[in-house]
Structure formats: structure tokens, C-alpha cells
């Protein structure tokens, strides 16, 4: 369907969509590469790309032949030069909310199941305590409970925390997409600044995140309030299902990128310190 014309060139809805998609891709690449060493190389490649288009428009046959001859080399060089940036771009693209809805990864499905189960527990005023492992190994805590080794689903979590089941007391441990164990005992927080009205379930949610790198979802049996604990404090409280899902994705999926960046910075700092010590020793 033709929308309008620019001179003798018809512009359709597909053309507009095409321009928007290309603009979005280049804008995201610019955001990712801005301030990095790859930004100058990316600018150089853009200049070559524009030059290739101009050579075709101006019917410069010799230049066009030269550009077409090195297209394959360009693709390989682009992948090699911008490997970290491309990986970061694809990870951010995969974490987009629309992409997660259309193409749910196993991790996203697990977090979605946790959010749905927590919302239903909240509506029914059933207490729940769900520990999601990140980097730390919490195998010792899983051993304190009953081994399950099942796929994480909202239905399984609801059946475990039902008051008439023998597994409803304690916490469940989730590693990746597997529900490792139920009825697990968690260490209680000894923080003296905590609100005295917090019950055992909430203190356990904070306690385990003080000692391990994990995220804990806790549902209050009295009020139905959903809270999210991380790093020894409540990251959010009074959450609904959509807010909990987004917070879990932020802490469990995007948090991996932040931890990797911190590890790289720490490694780079360690190498710089070692180089400084070597220089001091040689001097």
C-alpha cells in the first residue's frame, strides 16, 4: 500500500518499517559500542559501507567490483573485531520483553513459573519461600531438605506449598531449570536493624542471601505480600506478578552481564597491579 511519494519514488508501509528496523539496529549498535575501543573501527566500517553504496549509485563499475570482491572478508572481519559487542547486543536483544514473550528461553520459562506460582500463593494467602541459585553453590542447603529433582512449573510449586502437604514447611531450592529440593532449612538473618515485625520466613529469606549469591521470593501467609530478597536486603516488596517477573529477569538474567563486567574489571585491575609490582621489583 503506497503511503506517499518522494519525487517519482513510491513509499509503502513496508519501506517505512524497513527504515525503522535498520535505524533501531544501528542505534542499538551505537549504544553498545559507544565509549569502547571498537567505536572507531565501527565508524570506519560505516564509512566504507557508505562508500560502497555511493559507488553503486554512481555506477562506478571498477570500485563496485572491488567492494564486492572483499564482501566476504568484511563479514569475517566484522565478526572477529566486534565479537564482544555482538555477543552483548544479542544478549540484550534476547532479554527484550517482546522477544521473551515470543521466544521464551528455558530460564525465562522458569522465572515465569515462579512469578505465576507466587501470585497464586498470594491470592490464596499461602506462605511460600523460593530460593533461586545464581553463582554460589547452595548444595548444602538443598541437602537439608527432601530431594525433588523436577522441572520447575507453577503447578509443582503450588502443590509443594499447599498446607496439607508434608513439604510445605521450609524453602524450595531452584538451580537453573530444576527444582532441586523442598522443605529446606535456611539460615536466619542476624541483622539487628531488621524490623521486629518480620517473621521467620522473611528473616530466612534475607539470611540465605547474606551468605549465598541467590535470589529469594517470599510470600507472606498473613498478608499475601510478595517480597524479593537479594544481597541481604529486600530488593522489592508488595510485588504483583508482572513486577516480580521483571525483577527476577533483571536479577537472574541481566545480573549475569553485570557480574561478568565486574569480574573482567577485577581481573584487569589484578593484572595492572601485578605489572606495577614487577616494574617496581625490576627497578
> CB-based burial of residue 225 (10 Å sphere; 0-12 exposed, 13-18 middle, 19+ buried)?
middle
Report yes or no on 278 lying in a domain.
no
pLDDT of the residue at 168: 87
Domain that holds residue 73: 2-94
- Asked if the model's pLDDT at residue 2 lies above 90, the reply is no
pLDDT of the residue at 104: 52
| Co-location of 20 and 59 in the same domain | yes
pLDDT of the residue at 109: 85
Beta strand residue intervals within the chain, DSSP E: 2-6, 9-12, 128-133, 146-151, 171-175, 178-184, 214-219, 226-230, 233-236
Report yes or no on 283 lying in a domain.
no
| Co-location of 112 and 246 in the same domain | yes
Report yes or no on 277 lying in a domain.
no
- Asked if the model's pLDDT at residue 269 lies above 50, the reply is no
Cell of 217: 521470593
Number of compact structural domains in the chain:
2
- How many CB atoms sit inside 10 A of residue 139's CB? 12
Choose between 214 and 18: higher pLDDT: 214
Are 168 and 162 in contact, with CB atoms under 8 Å apart? yes
pLDDT of the residue at 263: 45
| Co-location of 52 and 124 in the same domain | no
- Asked if the model's pLDDT at residue 260 lies above 60, the reply is no
Report yes or no on 54 lying in a domain.
yes
Report yes or no on 62 lying in a domain.
yes
- pLDDT range class, residue 261, cuts 50, 70, 90: very low
Mean pLDDT of 24-32: 73
Q: Which residue, among 181, 153, 165, has the nearest Cα to 126 in the 3D structure?
A: 165
Residue-averaged pLDDT of the chain = 78
pLDDT of the residue at 262: 41
- pLDDT range class, residue 17, cuts 50, 70, 90: confident
pLDDT of the residue at 127: 93
Q: Which residue, among 89, 127, 91, 133, has the nearest Cα to 248 in the 3D structure?
A: 133
| Co-location of 110 and 84 in the same domain | no
| Co-location of 58 and 192 in the same domain | no
Q: For residue 205, give the CATH number of its domain.
A: 3.40.1700.10
Report yes or no on 217 lying in a domain.
yes
| Co-location of 110 and 182 in the same domain | yes
Beta-sheet pairing, 171-175 with 128-133: parallel
Q: What is the pLDDT of residues 188-209, one digit of tens each?
A: 988 888 887 788 899 999 999 9
Q: What is the pLDDT of residues 29-88, one digit of tens each?
A: 667 666 655 666 666 667 777 777 777 777 777 777 777 776 667 667 767 766 766 666
On the CB side of 30, how many CA atoms lie within 13 Å of its CA?
A: 8
pLDDT of the residue at 176: 84
Domain boundary pick from 41, 64, 94: 94
| Co-location of 113 and 248 in the same domain | yes
Q: What is the pLDDT of residues 31-45, one digit of tens each?
A: 766 665 566 666 666
Amino acid at each position: 500500500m503506497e503511503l506517499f511519494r518522494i519525487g517519482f519514488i513510491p513509499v509503502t508501509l513496508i519501506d517505512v518499517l524497513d527504515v525503522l528496523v535498520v535505524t533501531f539496529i544501528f542505534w542499538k549498535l551505537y549504544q553498545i559500542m559507544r565509549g569502547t575501543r571498537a567505536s572507531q573501527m565501527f565508524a570506519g566500517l560505516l564509512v566504507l559501507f557508505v562508500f560502497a553504496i555511493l559507488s553503486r549509485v554512481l555506477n562506478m563499475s571498477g570500485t563496485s567490483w572491488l567492494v564486492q570482491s572483499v564482501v566476504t572478508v568484511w563479514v569475517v572481519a566484522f565478526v572477529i573485531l566486534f565479537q564482544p559487542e555482538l555477543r552483548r547486543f544479542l544478549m540484550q536483544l534476547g532479554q527484550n520483553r517482546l522477544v521473551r514473550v515470543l521466544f521464551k528461553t528455558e530460564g525465562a520459562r522458569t522465572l515465569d513459573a515462579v512469578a505465576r506460582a507466587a501470585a497464586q500463593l498470594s491470592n490464596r494467602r499461602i506462605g511460600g519461600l523460593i530460593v533461586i541459585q545464581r553463582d554460589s553453590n547452595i548444595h548444602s542447603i538443598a541437602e537439608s531438605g527432601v530431594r525433588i529433582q523436577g522441572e520447575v512449573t507453577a503447578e509443582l510449586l503450588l502443590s509443594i506449598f499447599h498446607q496439607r502437604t508434608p513439604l510445605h514447611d521450609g524453602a524450595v531450592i531452584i538451580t537453573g531449570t530444576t527444582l532441586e529440593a523442598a522443605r529446606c532449612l535456611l539460615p536466619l538473618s542476624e541483622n539487628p536493624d531488621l524490623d521486629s515485625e518480620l517473621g521467620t520466613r522473611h528473616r530466612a529469606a534475607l539470611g540465605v542471601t547474606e551468605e549465598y549469591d541467590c535470589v529469594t521470593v517470599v510470600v507472606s501467609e498473613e498478608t499475601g505480600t510478595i517480597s524479593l530478597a537479594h544481597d541481604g536486603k529486600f530488593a522489592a516488596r508488595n510485588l504483583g506478578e508482572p513486577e516480580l517477573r521483571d525483577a527476577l529477569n533483571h536479577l537472574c538474567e541481566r545480573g549475569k552481564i553485570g557480574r561478568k563486567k565486574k569480574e573482567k574489571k577485577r581481573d584487569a585491575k589484578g593484572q595492572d597491579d601485578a605489572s606495577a609490582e614487577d616494574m617496581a621489583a625490576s627497578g
